[in-house]
């Protein structure tokens, strides 16, 4: 079998704003795989809750959100040259789900076990045909424990906040660096201490600290790992 015939599942987990989404997207596009941003799904549910008054200043009406889950329709729309946009009930919400308003509330929504079970089930369906790169917090541990390739990405909180701040500036989203740093720290805390599938490195994941790496360097690191993983499987 040639290397390109063998399709695998690639799980990329890590702390908020560690650059995992850009590296996951770049890898998927380089190897012709589908990319799925699991965080966008938690963000979309959070936006739905904010719009319906069920999420207010970090307080979540858990029962009402859980009851609404079957009606919340999340999808992805491929956009040429841009990866994909997240759709909420058919509306393109890609920009809105990245706002600080959503970031400030998403981890509180993501701790709810029934929300996690619902989204994990949707995420697992994307893996049915393999040939997928998914990024998130629990992909290598809970969504695809059988993934052939697992990466765990980390960088210092300050490096991650700086990156997120520049990204928001580029997108024209108003924010202050101190607020972004506070949000990164708060989400790290909630994500690592929650009871249901907390953010931890899977024992068989390969660690990457990309604090000192350029985007080109981290993309190369990832694609090299992909080739080594396939070589080991064939």
Rg (CA), the chain: 17
Rounded CA-CA distance 107/194 in Å is 9
One DSSP character per residue, 168-180 reads HHHTT----HHHH
Count CA within 13 A, CB hemisphere, residue 165. Answer: 16
Under the criterion CB under 6 A, does residue 115 sit at the interface with ligand CDP? no
* Closer Cβ to ligand CDP, 31 or 184, answer by number: 184
Shortest spacing between CB 198 and ligand CDP, in angstroms? 9
How close are the terminal C-alpha atoms of the chain, in Å? 7
Phi, psi (degrees; rounded to nearest 5) at 52: -100, 10
* Closer Cβ to ligand CDP, 84 or 107, answer by number: 107
* Closer Cβ to ligand CDP, 6 or 157, answer by number: 157
Q: What's the gap between Cα 81 and its chain centre?
A: 20
| Residue 195, strand partner residues | none
Under the criterion CB under 6 A, does residue 137 sit at the interface with ligand CDP? yes
Choose, by CB under 6 A, the member of 107, 159, 210, 218 that binds ligand CDP.
107
What does each C-alpha distance from 232 to 3, 33, 110, 117, 227 come to in angstroms? 10, 19, 35, 32, 9
Under the criterion CB under 6 A, does residue 43 sit at the interface with ligand CDP? yes
- For residues 168 to 207, the per-residue mask of contacts with ligand CDP, x marking binding by CB under 6 A and - elsewhere, is -------------------x---x----------------
Rounded CA-CA distance 65/28 in Å is 32
Under the criterion CB under 6 A, does residue 127 sit at the interface with ligand CDP? no
* Closer Cβ to ligand CDP, 119 or 230, answer by number: 119
Under the criterion CB under 6 A, does residue 148 sit at the interface with ligand CDP? no
Choose, by CB under 6 A, the member of 110, 112, 149, 151 that binds ligand CDP.
110
3-state secondary structure (DSSP) of residue 39: helix
Chain residues in the site for ligand CDP (CB under 6 A): 16-17, 21, 38-39, 42-43, 106-107, 110, 136-139, 187, 191
């Amino acid at each position: 079998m040639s290397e390109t015939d063998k399709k695998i599942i690639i799980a990329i987990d890590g702390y908020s704003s560690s650059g995992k989404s850009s590296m996951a997207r770049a890898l998927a596009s380089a190897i012709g795989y589908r990319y799925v941003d699991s965080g966008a799904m938690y963000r979309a549910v959070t936006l739905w809750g904010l719009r319906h008054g069920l999420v207010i200043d970090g307080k979540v009406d858990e029962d009402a959100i859980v009851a609404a889950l079957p009606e919340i329709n999340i999808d992805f729309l491929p956009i040429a040259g841009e990866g994909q946009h997240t759709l909420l009930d058919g509306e393109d919400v890609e920009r809105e789900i990245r706002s600080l308003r959503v970031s400030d509330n998403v981890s509180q929504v993501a701790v709810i076990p029934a929300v996690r079970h619902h989204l994990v089930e949707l995420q697992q369906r994307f893996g049915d045909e393999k040939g997928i790169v998914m990024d998130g917090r629990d992909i290598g541990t809970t969504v695809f424990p059988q993934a052939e390739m697992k990466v765990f990405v980390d960088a210092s909180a300050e490096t991650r906040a700086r990156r997120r701040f520049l990204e928001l500036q580029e997108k024209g989203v108003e924010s202050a660096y101190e607020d972004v740093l506070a949000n990164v720290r708060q989400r790290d805390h909630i994500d690592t201490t929650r009871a249901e599938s907390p953010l931890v490195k899977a024992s068989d994941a390969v660690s990457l600290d990309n604090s000192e790496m350029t985007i080109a360097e981290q993309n190369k690191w990832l694609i090299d790992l992909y080739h080594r993983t396939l070589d080991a499987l064939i």
